[in-house]
Chain A
Amino acid sequence: MENSNDPKVNRRSFLQYALAGGAATGVANLTIMKDLFAQAPAGPIVIGHHVELTGGFASWGYWHDKAARKAVDLINQGGGIAKRKVVLATEDTESNPASGARKLRNLIQRANAEFVMGSVHSGVMLAAIPIATELKTIYMSMGEATEATGSKGTRYSFRTGMDTYSIAAAGVPWCMENLGKNWTVIYADYAWGQSHFQETKVIVEKLGGKVVGNIPVPLDAKDFVPYLTQIPAETQVVFSIFFGSLSVAFYTQSKSMGIGKRAKMYSVSGTLEAIAPADIEGAAEGVYILENFPRMLKYKDDGFHKEHNKIMELDDIDAREAGSKRIMAKSHAWQSWEDLYTLKAAIETSGYKTRKDTEGVIRALEGLPMKNSLGHPQGDKLLRKEDHSGILDCYISLIENGRFEVKKKIPKEDLAKNMPVRHDLSKMPV
């Protein structure tokens, strides 16, 4: 016998629940969409910062966070963006792609960030771009994996800084001419290191050189002896791609094994970012490094750079923070400062009011020139229209007596010439 109180689902109750559920979902959706698309234009403009405050990239994240906060203060003191006060919403990615993806949704859907300055961690950045695109939010990438403005780029992903493609295009030609033609690439075996290896190999071979050694190193390596003994004898240039403690361990152990005596050592700024060569007891002495914002003021000696250092509380030699031992992640963290000014220019040019005007900002960013100024202390640059990539000046420095001594400036025009457009993101739908 059927009990009238039986909680079993019948056709009538199913329809009731379905209608109620549908109505609730509709209301929730309308509320979210209202937040996303109909924010009052007179209110503050919320810009999200997707940053590594903890985890493996914490030493960089500190500087990205500080640069963003200082730049927001400056912008607000100058009247904000389009006369609207800027509110910075910050989320810690924990240097972890899974956490980063979740935090990005928080930024956009809960904190109502209308634009996001993105992660410097390539894994987090690549996890974030599809989400930002799905939520129709501009994401200013800062990691170096080329895919963000290449095969995995979208109309919403931009990068004012450098990627593995532009780093190879900027540094390899000079190194081939001055350091040697037989290269060994030794790198952290994940997306960032692999991407560097692939991009570098292409340019080395294109310029008539040879990659004689390809040595991926597991991320949990502590002992480098098995990897360093793999470097072929005919190697003239050892190109190393590590970051943080792995980088210090590499320099320490390669120094003790005398690798630098039989080959020239070359690397990218990321390997010594947030680290003063003097603090690692000379382990990186004699290494050539590709920078994009000289560690020492004297190599880009102008008032904007000087004022930037002053606001960031840096000394002009090591970029060390006053009253602490921290060294600024200088070739990366400027993006958190400059990207705010880049967004400001694009928002004001396009007449952006609400999220429905995002397409106008995208069009304004595509091909946006930036002038050397306090807003852009790294220097003149261009956000190339087709691949949304930064075209900027770079510097090859040699670590001498614990300092980054610039040996060659690579002008942005040379960089642009060496890195033809491979992906046209500007033709993708918004």
Chain B
Amino acid sequence: MTNTLIALSINGLVWGLIIALIALGLSVIFGLLDIINLSHGDFFMIGTVIAWTVLTTTGSFWPAFLLAPLVGFVLGALIQRIVLQPIRNAAALSIVATFGLSMILQEVVRMTFGPTPRRILPPIRGTFDLFGIDYEIYRLFAAAVSILALAAFFLFLHHTKLGTWMRAVRHDPETATAMGIPAQRVYRVTFGLGFALAALGGVVASPITTVDFRAGVDVLPFCFMAVIIGGLGNLPGTAAAAVLLAFLEGIISSFATPTVARIASLVLMSAVLLLRPQGLFKGLTK
């Protein structure tokens, strides 16, 4: 029992880090653009499809770690320009637009990649004994990649000119524009970065889950829960909430049914909405 508890706690941390990577993109987009992006799960899905395509065409999985975020960034910037910029001032419309975008992305992938789910073998094979369960080595690698990507993003946000611009536009768009910061370009870069983070999450998760045109549908609710618990637009809060949620589900799953664990996460989210609507991690850097 104790061994299972420890193993599931560690697994919760590992899985939470992967989810944090995906949820961070959602939070970035909301934090800066005030867009509730219902197509964010599909950005993750696009990442898994890019990983599968890279693997089948080159025979190697590794280039996907570079290609998926790059393609994601370009696609994100294009989507922001074509779909979201024209409706910039209408928050309700952005929900409808991103919902439509989600359907378009899914159907395009269904028509090109096909409706059948695929599996990607992990690039690092093998398992080890983690407190009595056979645990994949690749999962630890995935967690390490997630930590690196999260750290790199926060460094970028706080130690580069573009990162400073992004925080300035988030804080006060009018003043930032008056100071000569190109707000429209910042919006485009931000959406591109959100897409790139989700696509990278897709590459990292693809050998653990599957490649499927509807893969993003299942990821989105968990990401939203992380964003809500962490505080809308609160980036460190979102990452911490994703880890907390997965960790919590891992622990509860060791002594109750997995469904009870999921219910516990939802109860936590409801409690946060009721008692701390600003999120659990208010006060952390936005």
Contacts and interface: CB of A to CB of B under 8 A. Distances in A.
Interface of A: 54-56, 58-59, 62, 189, 215-223, 225-227, 229-230, 244-245, 247-249, 251-253, 256-258, 274-275, 279-281, 283, 324-327
A248 B11 contact: no
Contacts of B136: 256
Contacts of B215: 245
B117 A275 contact: yes
Contacts of A222: 15, 205, 208-209, 218-219
Contacts of B134: 256-258
Interface in B91-126: 107, 110, 114-122
Nearest to B138: A256
B212 A244 contact: yes
Given A221-B218, A230-B258, A281-B121, 6 more contacts: A218-B262, A225-B133, A225-B250, A230-B257, A248-B212, A256-B136
Contacts of B259: 189, 216, 218
B278 interface: no
B133 A218 contact: no
B7 interface: yes
A315 to B, nearest CB: 16
A249 B261 contact: no
Given A216-B257, A220-B222, A248-B210, A229 B133 contact: yes
Interface in B233-271: 246, 249-250, 253-254, 257-259, 261-262
A262 B110 CA distance: 37
Interface residues of B, number: 45
Contacts of A247: 117
Contacts, number: 120
B63 interface: no
B119 to A, nearest CB: 4
Nearest to A60: B115
Contacts of B212: 244-245, 248
A254 to B, nearest CB: 10
Contacts of A253: 208
B258 A221 contact: yes
| Ranked 3 nearest A-B pairs via Cβ | A226-B253, A59-B115, A245-B212
A410 B254 CA distance: 39
A332 to B, nearest CB: 14
23 contacts: A58-B213, A59-B114, A215-B257, A216-B259, A220-B219, A222-B219, A223-B208, A223-B209, A225-B15, A226-B8, A226-B254, A229-B4, A229-B7, A244-B214, A248-B117, A248-B119, A248-B212, A274-B115, A279-B116, A279-B119, A281-B120, A283-B119, A326-B116
Contacts of A280: 117-119
Nearest to A256: B136
Contacts of B115: 58-59, 62, 274
A280 B212 CA distance: 12
B85 interface: no
B182 interface: no
Q: By CB atoms of chain B within 10 A, which of A189, A252, A324 has the most?
A: A252
B133 A226 contact: no
Nearest to B220: A220
B253 A230 contact: yes
A325 to B, nearest CB: 6
Contacts of A326: 114, 116
Contacts of A275: 116-117
B258 A227 contact: yes
Contact of B209 (A58, A59, A249, A256): A249
Given A229-B4, A256-B134, A245 B258 contact: no
B110 A245 contact: no
B127 A256 contact: yes
